[in-house]
Chains A and B, each alone.
Chain A
């Protein structure tokens, strides 16, 4: 096993625990925003798509890289925006309707 692999496994293991600890007690209220917010974070695969694009030479490789960038960008941009749209709606005080 390479040193890089061991380092990656270490990071992975610690991140698993961190992930569980972070959201162990999230109120039902925030389940959807939490899910869609973390969903946007999984769009980090965009970084992978960018790296893949650097090796893309043939038409096939270029197409694959392009599709991967598009898909993960939708995931990132759409995910964060829609989460923000939802959270904007959560209000503590009632907006009193006109009497």
Chain B
């Protein structure tokens, strides 16, 4: 098909980009508030449709067969992915979408560079710089997201993968990438940008490899920012304001979210990204030495159920274990049962519980928990001293009092949920094994804490049966 669909001037298209940008801004604004969020998402999507449709109507865009095929394949894949994904798998879904956006940016930057580079001096300095930036950032986003996906999907181990001299290897790749980038800027030959992309792909792998599962909320937010920035780069290359504005909004919001997540762990961004959390934690031997004399108390599901059934205030603290066991529906059932008995039930949500920002909120929403029952850390912490039972389901580090009490703990200073201030604590956990980070949780040796071992979903179901019988 070579027939021109319609001829719309560049000026008209640029004006629709302004309209699209306004829709993005208003959409994000509405996304920030629960009552209007859904409308905000629809507005942002409308902005996207507007920008895409008018771009296709540009006179120079005429490869309709190719475009239609690409859009069709992408749309079908996107619809299927969005429909079938389980809410528990949302972190890896977001990671995958991020990676796709980054990958597309790399290709756009590469294709533009390749098209213009053979003519010496054809690329203005700023276009050149933007193309290289977009290729670099986009390629890191692509492989970084792919690896994050693999870790979250448990295609590969989620724990930090480290080896001796890792920092040196990573540093070498980075220096090589920058060197090749400069060469690509000076020599303007396709071979150089190709090398840059290969090195940046390696950099993305090297960057996510040493990062452990518990730090994933920071990484996912960070990659989100990066996918936006690579779109900005592509926007400068093509001198296209829709890309510049859309990409920048994503870059800014992703950066802010990244900072928020690091702060919720009381760690600098640099420490999360380059610290390999698992390796800075105390060696297993040291941990054992400190806890030999301590004992924990086990409880049967029946006893724990009675405790819950006759409590007046219960706070449920969900963590990644709840997501892994897919226990959200059972938890909702338990909470309903308790409420029908007149127990006041609240949920305490730590900002970095789970594997992406807001992970627990999504899971509980899926189980129809009304969101006014979900409390942020600052709001729920004053409630714990008045709480009869704090029910911790698959959450670990975010409840560890060592963050308050033990200055040499790797998590010292991290804001935590003060579950140890409740009258009773029931912890649902698979075993006494510390998490992959190897940090012992003092909470489990607290005399007020009772441990209920087993798969979170099975344990909650037993609690449900117990409460019914009580």
Residues of A within 8 A of B (CB): 1-2, 4-5, 8, 11-12, 15-20, 22-56, 61-62, 64-95, 97, 99
Count of A-B contacts with CB under 8 A? 378
Q: How large is the interface on B (under 10, 10 to 19, 20 to 34, 35 or more residues)?
A: 35 or more
Find out whether the CB atom of B239 lies under 8 angstroms from the CB atom of A54.
no
Residues of B within 8 A of A (CB): 24-25, 27-29, 31-35, 37-38, 40-42, 44-45, 47-48, 51-52, 55-56, 58, 60-63, 66-67, 69-71, 73-75, 77-79, 81-83, 85, 87, 90, 93-94, 97-98, 100-101, 103-105, 107-108, 110-112, 114-115, 124, 126, 220-221, 224, 227-228, 230-232, 234-257, 336, 340, 349, 351, 356-359, 361-362, 365-366, 368-374, 376
CB distance from B312 to the nearest CB of A (A): 19
By beta carbon, the residue of chain A nearest B71 is A73
Pick from B77, B111, B221, B336: contact of A65, CB below 8 A.
Answer: B111
User: Which residues of A lie under 8 Å from residue B356 when comparing CB positions?
Assistant: 31-32, 35
User: Which residues of A lie under 8 Å from residue B42 when comparing CB positions?
Assistant: 84
CB distance from B4 to the nearest CB of A (A): 11
CB distance from A82 to the nearest CB of B (A): 4
Find out whether the CB atom of B71 lies under 8 angstroms from the CB atom of A47.
no
Name 8 extra pairs, CB < 8 A, besides A4-B239, A5-B124.
A41-B228, A42-B227, A70-B70, A71-B74, A71-B104, A73-B71, A90-B37, A92-B34
Find out whether the CB atom of A71 lies under 8 angstroms from the CB atom of B100.
yes
Write 30 A-B pairs (CB below 8 A) sorted by A numbering.
A1-B126, A8-B235, A8-B244, A20-B256, A27-B376, A33-B37, A33-B362, A34-B28, A36-B93, A36-B94, A39-B97, A39-B101, A44-B247, A45-B234, A47-B51, A47-B242, A49-B70, A49-B104, A51-B60, A56-B66, A64-B111, A70-B70, A71-B101, A73-B75, A75-B98, A75-B101, A76-B48, A77-B82, A89-B366, A92-B34
